[in-house]
Amino acid sequence: MLQTRDITKSFGGLRAVNAASIEVPGAAITAVIGPNGAGKTTLMNIISGFAVPDSGSVTLDGKAATGARPHQLCAMGLARTFQNLQMFSDMSVLEVVTTGRYRHQRASLLSNLLHLPSTRAEERAAVDNARDILRFLGVEESYWERRAGDLPYGVQRRTEIARALATEPKYLLLDEPAAGLNNQETADLGRVLRLIADSGVAVVLIEHDIDLVMDVSQRIFVLDAGTVIADGDPAAIRSNEAVIAAYFGGEE
């Protein structure tokens, strides 16, 4: 279980996140939605260690994770993707995903510097693992040796998810993974998200594409002006008065 409790974060006079509490169970898809500026990405950055909250706490499987640095959270089983792609552009797709194996490569510094057999074996294993993940996510093999920065947006998105999965996370945070994808790619993404959740990973989905969210999520938290105004399953959220007023702008 990933939990945040009363997270508050202000930038200058603006309270971006206000006493937000969410909880994410394992092996399911939990969505965080809300209008622009609702504080979703700030909350995400706090959970993943890229920002420190003014108050409140984050716990991962009962362990305190507030203020831990990103690489420490990675070791605790948290991985994420970024709203504006953070791609290792000059690497090949395979190298990008192999980089995700970093924390599982435990050969010593000396072994790496001297390229000892332990390092070589570990490198082969890391590359094999990266191949498996790319296959699992349906990234076509013809892309694997290509420079990641040159590839279509949808492929880069999936490469980014593959890189995160390569760390073997228990919790996978996806910050607007459907942004910039066409309808076909979004449908593919939905299938991929279900596959990931079915494999036992807790997926946290921050997304604007409401159809995708309603389609794949088991539970949804709605943020408005930094505050959680509702949570529940898709049906409950769809009929929630406060959500309709805040999020759908009273149009429905």
Partner 1 sequence: MSPATDRILTILLLLLLPVLSLSTGNTFYKSMLVFGIINAIAAIGLCMMLGFAGQISLGQSAFFGLGAYGAAVIANRTGIEPVLAIFAGALIAMAAGWLISRPLSRLHDHYLAMATLAFGIILYILFANVRSLTGGLDPGINIGRLTLFGLDLSSTASFFWAAWVMLLLTVFIATNVSSSKLGRSLLAMKMAPLAAASVGIDTLRAKAFVFAIGALFTGLAGGLYAYYARSFNASAFGIGYAIELLMMVVIGSLNRVSGAIVGAFIITVLPVLFDQFEDYKTLIFGITMVLIMKYMPSGLVDAVFSLFGRLRRRVVG
State yes or no: residue 248 binds partner 1 (CB under 8 A): no
| Interstrand relation of 2-11 and 55-60 (parallel, antiparallel or unpaired) | antiparallel
As measured in angstroms, the least distance from the Cβ of 90 to partner 1 is: 6
Sequence letter at residue 194:
R
State yes or no: residue 146 binds partner 1 (CB under 8 A): no
How far is residue 181's CA from residue 178's CA, in Å, rounded to a whole number?
5
Exposure b/e, 5-14, CB count within 10 A at least 16 = b: eebbbeeeee
Q: Which two tokens stand for residue 181?
A: 């994808």
115 vs 191 by CB, closer to partner 1: 115
As measured in angstroms, the least distance from the Cβ of 123 to partner 1 is: 7
Q: Which two tokens stand for residue 142?
A: 């013809």
State yes or no: residue 113 binds partner 1 (CB under 8 A): yes
Q: Applying CB under 8 A, which part among 21-29, 100-108, 211-219, 225-233 lies near partner 1?
A: 100-108
19, 28, 91, 155: which one binds partner 1 (CB under 8 A): 91
State yes or no: residue 124 binds partner 1 (CB under 8 A): no
121 vs 245 by CB, closer to partner 1: 121
Q: What separation in angstroms does the CA of 195 have from each of 31, 190, 227?
A: 16, 9, 31
Write out the DSSP string of 30-55.
EEEE-STTSSHHHHHHHHTTSS--SE
State yes or no: residue 132 binds partner 1 (CB under 8 A): no
Q: Applying CB under 8 A, which part among 24-32, 43-51, 196-204, 219-227 lies near partner 1?
A: 43-51
122 vs 224 by CB, closer to partner 1: 122
89, 182, 183, 199: which one binds partner 1 (CB under 8 A): 89
Q: Applying CB under 8 A, which part among 29-37, 80-88, 151-159, 230-238 lies near partner 1?
A: 80-88
113 vs 235 by CB, closer to partner 1: 113
**Which ranges constitute the DSSP H helices of the chain?**
40-47, 70-75, 93-99, 109-114, 117-136, 153-166, 183-198, 210-216, 234-238, 241-246
Q: What separation in angstroms does the CA of 163 have from each of 140, 147, 168, 180, 226?
A: 15, 15, 10, 19, 30
18 vs 98 by CB, closer to partner 1: 98
50 vs 136 by CB, closer to partner 1: 50
State yes or no: residue 71 binds partner 1 (CB under 8 A): yes
Q: CB of 135 within 8 A of CB of 143?
A: no
User: What is the Cα 73 distance to its own chain's centre?
Assistant: 13
**Positions that interact with partner 1 (CB under 8 A):** 48-50, 69-71, 74-75, 79-80, 82, 86-91, 95, 98-103, 105, 109, 112-115, 119, 122-123, 126, 160, 163-164, 166-167
